[in-house]
Structure 1
Amino acid sequence: MSFGINCLLANDLMTARAMAAELDDLNKARREIEQGMQQEAERVLTSLKFSEDNLPFAIALYQADWHQGVIGIVAGRLKEKFHRPSIVFAKADPDDKTNDEIKGSARSIPGLHIRDLLEHIDSQHPGVIRKFGGHAMAAGLSIAANDFEQFNRLFQQYAETWLSKESLTGTILSDGELEANLMNIEFAHYLRESGPWGQLFPEPMFDDEFVILQQRIVGEKHLKLVLEKSGVAFDAIAFNIDVKQWPNAKAKNAHVAYKLDINEFRGKQSVQLMVDHIKAV
């Protein structure tokens, strides 16, 4: 039984408080580790020299000193930044010099089922992949370090075959403009209860032009906004924003693609726009 469950089931208040304090310390330590991993991921991305002119169909990277704990984050960042299926590898056991296995974390884009692609490589080239598993958008796999170059060539080859030109454009599909009278807590609850959303049943996405009332960075790279439509103000947030472009003091209006969500703070609920894309207009 987990420590958190034990805290909830504690027999007395003093024990529960002590366990709650320990849980809080563990959570703070986890956030520090996560922040360090995020910084490492950003350094990896900065070191890459990809541009629109030399961008491959898929990205696979391996570095001997990378830590397994950061590869999923790096793969996700690569996928988000370059809109390409991405796999990042690290040593399976850095302390065992005789272990030649490396583990990869994969993230994909709409239009390419990453697990099916790995299965195809495995069936056509037995032995290159030792083991794999996952689903359409994320997967894990293990290969020998000496087989990385061969795997990378195969990954590139089949990704180019499987991906359409449309899949590489990073097109955002929108359900269109949401009327202001529907941008309320009741409709947000209705959408939330209509899930679960998935690969072939995506969460509704809306887009519209808003007046920017406020904009600021929170948490180092997240853009917090107050947007106005039809005289009504809405809180909005865009995660992992390009801080070189935002905040933009010159931008008075923006075209925003967003999901309607619910923000809960101190027991109160309010509508919040989860921004997928923002462009000054």
Structure 2
Amino acid sequence: MRWTIKPKPSAEKIQHLAHALQVEDFVATLLVQRGIETFEDAKAFFRPSLSHLHDPYLMKDMDKAVIRIEKAIANNERILVFGDYDVDGTTAVSLVASYLKTYYSNVDTYIPDRYLEGYGVSFKGIDYAEDNEFSLIIALDCGIKSIDHVNYAKERNIDFIICDHHRPGDQLPAAVAVLDPKRSDCTYPYDELCGCGVGFKLIQALGTNRDQTIEDLIPYLDLVATAIAADIVPMTGENRVMAYFGLKVINDSPRPGIKALVHQVKKQTLDITDVVFIVAPRINAAGRIRHGNYAVQLLTEFDFEQAQAFASEIEKNNADRKELDQQITKEALNQIITNQEEDRFSTVVFQEDWHKGVIGIVASRLIETHYRPTLVFTKSGEKYAASARSVKGFDVYNALEACADHLEQFGGHMYAAGMTLQAENYPAFKNAFEKQVQATILPEQRVPEIEVDAEIDFNDISPKFIRILKQFEPFGPQNMTPVFMSKNVIETGYAKPMGKENEHLRLFVKQNQSEGLAAIGFGLGNKLEIVTNQKPFEAAYCIDENEWNGKTTTQLRLKDIR
């Protein structure tokens, strides 16, 4: 692990903010590092408000989208809400469809089959629309590159409205409206929305025609918060506001589907991390193991007993998913060793019987062992399909673009992408991708990094400081959970390994004359020797509160020790 301490902002900015907020300098430092430099910035950060959400009509083509939907409703046309099979897609479809159905019944949903249709808008989906007399398709979390599909639909007198957040290609589809804040000609003030976030802006615009205010749409924010957490978009601007209020909905009055999922794990109050690790994987499991339709059925079900039945099925899917990804990860790691590929700059592995639904998770798992851009391929029909995951700072989408000659199609983000290619092109692509990564990856991007926000003493960890830290939530990219570093830490003699294979570490630590603190280090079981015999060490950690038997105590969650 490479420890990097974030640059300290200027003393003048720190002191100005510390004085304005009446907080310690190291709290002001954390805020300035996040771009918060004035009292007004801090007020917006600590007190998110729905009034901070932008006018949806600032988004290019929003007026066209609303006019076309209102026309469809006036003419009693059939509307098909179409979305991808992942969390962002299924929550977006659930959001837009359930909103429209509050005042118009001629609406249905369509999630493509991961295995038969693949990612995004499909010809099979358009054929389904034609066969069932749909004349308008609203595509969510996909469609920005579906030039041929939209033309195919037009020939069948089916209009498209596209709501996407992925990067457009050189040409936009000939849809009635293309809502995508990443369009080069779109001047919308915030371009980091997820697909469900773009869907929310659409219902916000539709709501203005029905004299609805933003307060009327709060119940839909549980879906948006779930998508924001799962899609790992920046936790800034509108995303932070919607996640903040969405978490309140999840905890106070969630829709029956989300309530049923949470009920499975018996947890009282969820934070954004719980949404990432409890709610999102279960919604994803439906599309990975069975079909994304199950997730939409769950999220649009308003009878709690029925929602519990769906959630119980999805829980089984999630257990199957865990088993599969563990097995495939093991096989992939063995393949890397067998092929003597441990020293490459990239990981590209293939096995034709790997389950397509979990290859993205497997790619992330492989990075934990071999820290480098990773692609996991499996057979999909006559072609090979892959999920890509990347390491911090390396744009895997750009690397794929440089190898596009070998690919049939690809799409995604800087850190995650999907692609297909012809089987005969696999060896050439694997070589080209390795060469591209070698040529463009920086040496520091090949070593996992811990970014340390600030060095502090244990005496700084006061109840007031913890209360302030809790107000930094919800955490996510560009507003990550603060990581602190402390020197001359000593273990007081209670260190012990934990876990089936002693892979984790539990400690009780002190620093100078401070009170002792419990600490837990997941995956740090092999570092037990560092802390024995009261040898001083350095610790990088986050500060957690641990609830046990009704008592709340402060606990350090160790990221690394040295």
Band of TM-score, shorter chain: 0.7 to 0.9
Distance in 1 of aligned mates of 2:319 and 2:502:
15
2:379 pairs with 1:91: yes
Distance in 2 of aligned mates of 1:186 and 1:225:
26
Q: Name the aligned partner's letter for residue 329 of structure 2.
A: A
CA shift in 2, pair 1:73/1:228, >3 Å: same
Paired residue for 1:42?
Answer: 330
Paired residue for 2:476?
Answer: 197
Paired residue for 1:96?
Answer: none
**Of residues 76, 87, 105 in structure 1, which corresponds to 2:387?**
105
Distance in 2 of aligned mates of 1:267 and 1:29:
33
**Of residues 405, 418, 421 in structure 2, which corresponds to 1:140?**
418
Once the two structures are TM-superposed, the CA of residue 223 in structure 1 deviates from its matched residue by 1.5
1:209-236 CA deviation, whole Å, 9 max, x = no partner?
A: 4516333333667525233123322242
1:70-129 CA deviation, whole Å, 9 max, x = no partner?
A: 31222112212121111111122xxxxxx322221111112311122222332xx3xx22
Once the two structures are TM-superposed, the CA of residue 51 in structure 1 deviates from its matched residue by 11
Paired residue for 2:257?
Answer: 4
Distance in 1 of aligned mates of 2:320 and 2:421:
31
1:41–1:70 contact (8 Å) kept in structure 2: no
Residue 452 of structure 2 aligns to a residue in which SS?
coil
Distance in 2 of aligned mates of 1:131 and 1:31:
31
Paired residue for 2:345?
Answer: 57
1:133-155 CA deviation, whole Å, 9 max, x = no partner?
A: 22222222222222111111111
Aligned pairs for 1:122-133 (under 5 A) are 122=404, 125=405, 128-133=406-411
Residue 83 of structure 1 aligns to a residue in which SS?
coil
RMSD over aligned CA atoms reads 3.7
Q: Name the aligned partner's letter for residue 42 of structure 1.
A: K
Distance in 1 of aligned mates of 2:521 and 2:461:
15
Residue 154 of structure 1 aligns to a residue in which SS?
helix
Paired residue for 1:167?
Answer: 445
1:171-206 CA deviation, whole Å, 9 max, x = no partner?
A: 4332343321343565345345436432x5654322
Distance in 2 of aligned mates of 1:222 and 1:188:
28
2:273 pairs with 1:273: no
Distance in 1 of aligned mates of 2:410 and 2:355:
19
1:221–1:242 contact (8 Å) kept in structure 2: no
Residue 213 of structure 1 aligns to a residue in which SS?
coil
Once the two structures are TM-superposed, the CA of residue 256 in structure 1 deviates from its matched residue by 3.3
CA shift in 2, pair 1:225/1:59, >3 Å: same
Distance in 2 of aligned mates of 1:202 and 1:157:
32
Residue 197 of structure 1 aligns to a residue in which SS?
coil
2:547–2:553 contact (8 Å) kept in structure 1: yes
1:210–1:256 contact (8 Å) kept in structure 2: no
CA shift in 2, pair 1:136/1:237, >3 Å: same
Distance in 2 of aligned mates of 1:43 and 1:221:
23
Find the structure with the greater CA-based Rg: 2
TM-score (norm 2): 0.40
Paired residue for 2:509?
Answer: 228
Which residues of structure 1 form unaligned runs of 5+?
A: 93-98
Residue 49 of structure 1 aligns to a residue in which SS?
helix
Distance in 2 of aligned mates of 1:81 and 1:160:
19
Identity %: 25
2:455–2:484 contact (8 Å) kept in structure 1: yes
Residue 543 of structure 2 aligns to a residue in which SS?
strand
CA shift in 2, pair 1:33/1:75, >3 Å: closer
Paired residue for 1:259?
Answer: 542
Distance in 2 of aligned mates of 1:6 and 1:277:
35
Distance in 2 of aligned mates of 1:187 and 1:55:
44
Q: Name the aligned partner's letter for residue 232 of structure 1.
A: G
Q: Name the aligned partner's letter for residue 172 of structure 1.
A: I
Once the two structures are TM-superposed, the CA of residue 57 in structure 1 deviates from its matched residue by 1.0
**Of residues 491, 495, 498 in structure 2, which corresponds to 1:217?**
498
1:185–1:262 contact (8 Å) kept in structure 2: no
CA shift in 2, pair 1:234/1:73, >3 Å: same
Larger relative strand fraction = 1
CA shift in 2, pair 1:120/1:3, >3 Å: farther
CA shift in 2, pair 1:79/1:186, >3 Å: farther
Larger relative helix fraction = 2
CA shift in 2, pair 1:182/1:132, >3 Å: farther
Between the two proteins, the alignment pairs up a number of residues equal to 261
Which residues of structure 2 form unaligned runs of 5+?
A: 1-93, 95-254, 264-300
Distance in 2 of aligned mates of 1:27 and 1:115:
32
Q: Name the aligned partner's letter for residue 119 of structure 1.
A: E
Residue 204 of structure 1 aligns to a residue in which SS?
coil
Distance in 2 of aligned mates of 1:144 and 1:56:
24
CA shift in 2, pair 1:58/1:146, >3 Å: same
Distance in 2 of aligned mates of 1:6 and 1:213:
39
